[in-house]
Chain A
Amino acid sequence: MRVVSIIARDTLLELSKRKVLLAILITVALTAVLFIVAVSVMPSVVERMAGQMIINGNRPAPDQIAPLVIQLKKQGCNLLVTIFSGVIELLGTLLALIMCVTFLPAEIERGSIKFLISKPVSRLEVVAGKWAAACTVLLCYSAVTSILQIIASLYLTGAIIPDDIHAIPFLFFKLLIRGSVAMFLSIAMKPILAAVLAFFISGDIFGFFAGIAGDSASGYILAAISYLLPNYSIFPVRSFLNFLASAMGAAVQEISIFSMAARGAYAIFYSAVMIYLTITWFNKKDLT
């Protein structure tokens, strides 16, 4: 563990010096600024639109419009928070992919791995150290951006929907799986290809068809495939469906503690298998 933590700390130092984290933070900050501008402009847009509304050929009276404006503002804010959360997730995914597809290939390509391996350091410790650094960054990213989202949601809509509460662990779990898949693929192929594949490989579509197939043999097979491939659909972060549900006044589906734990266990198990495969493959690889 001592060597793993030394390598993890050095990797974090390298990330901070290479300004990767700074670039992501600046992008998040710019997104937040755009978001604030959109939010500040939105009420006047809604009011202007409501003022021009014509119902049955007549302009409605202001007291008729007022509740509608409040409703529209609320849903508009909700939509903005949903878009903001989508951007945050996309940036987090990019961060996970950039880090995890470059950590090991960069060490091999520049030759610095030779200095590491010639010290009393095992290949397992190199992979574990890099992975520990990636997990630290992704956890911090998930926590900071999700707290931002909760504050935004609370400030704008006056309420927190369950998705916001789940955001921290769910965003982290998604990024954890995505990063582990990317790191595994980076051992076998060019980093850019590994990143593209890690971005697109997903069992979500199989889960969707499994839902349609229902309780049948093909349904079970499709469901199994959806979990064998990384299944991100079980980690809804401000899902669009939930947004629509809350916009239409329907009850948003809550997730029990047991279900949360099961989903977390899936993410941890899946990423652990991926990292185990990475170590196994890395152990056999010629590091030149």
Chain B
Amino acid sequence: MNYAIETEKLTKIYQNSKVKAVDRQDLKVPSGEVFGYLGPNGAGKTTTIYMLLGILKPTSGDGKILGKPLGSREAKERIGFLPESATMHLHHSGYSLLNYYGSLLNMDPGKIKDRAEQVLEIAGLSKAMHQNIETYSKGMMQRLGIAQAILNNPDLLILDEPTANLDPIGRKEVKDLLMSIRESGKTIFISSHILSDIEQLCDRIAILNEGKLVRSGTIAELIGDSGTTLEDFFYQTVKGDSHEGS
């Protein structure tokens, strides 16, 4: 099997707090699938994603992303990323922001403008494209975040809580957008704790608790014919693991 993301004993201990946020994690994300990365708050999901992209340096362990070293330039040229609740460069309009990011992505200058208009259309921001993004609502900001993540038509899309902070309409729009991207055969890695979204979107999931990967597999493999919901399965897995740990 070809993997978009592979990590080997990936570990992160924060220097200041000495907290072990990620503990010897062996993660494998097959190419072309939608992968749900689940865990309660503070489980280490965001820390893992930041290590994949080079925003955080691993304390130990290593990995590959699209066959290249973690955080490498070659890999990042083919990745789209939406961080959780981060503020973009607020002195731009939606359109000029995408032009700025497009030039950083080394896209053909002639094509950036067309592509920017196209992804803003997909994200439903065409009317507000020349508006300063400081005036955008949370939902618009999230959709702009997705627009910048798909700007370079990436092979791997990493989304950290893509539906957080959105109202039901915004969530539905983002899910529909992800469904359409999924149809194109791209690898999507979604970190979330909104289990209903994950159930609808993902082929495969991994559950993380207290920095450790506790379960991984397709939803069918994990739940099978047990008749339980993903929510019940997640609850039992996390609670069971926490009890074993204590």
Contact = CB atoms under 8 A, between A and B. Distances in A.
Residue among A6, A7, A119, A120 with the most chain B CB within 10 A? A119
A122 B73 contact: yes
Contacts of A13: 91
A118 B91 contact: no
A47 B212 CA distance: 85
Interface residues of B, number: 30
Given A119-B76, A120-B73, A3 B104 contact: yes
A10 B88 CA distance: 13
A111 interface: yes
Interface in A94-119: 110-119
Interface residues of A, number: 26
Contact of A114 (B57, B76, B79, B86): B86
Contact of A117 (B53, B90, B105): B53
Interface string B47-85: 000100111110000000000000101101101010101
A118 B89 CA distance: 14
Nearest to B101: A119
A197 to B, nearest CB: 21
Interface stretch (A82-90, A153-161, A280-288): A280-288
B105 A112 contact: no
B3 interface: no
Interface in A3-38: 3, 6-7, 10, 13-14, 17-18
Given A115-B148, A287-B56, A288-B56, A10 B89 contact: yes
Interface of A: 2-3, 6-7, 10, 13-14, 17-18, 110-122, 284, 286-288
16 contacts: A6-B100, A7-B104, A10-B100, A112-B89, A113-B55, A114-B50, A115-B86, A115-B88, A117-B54, A118-B53, A118-B55, A118-B83, A119-B101, A121-B104, A286-B57, A287-B56
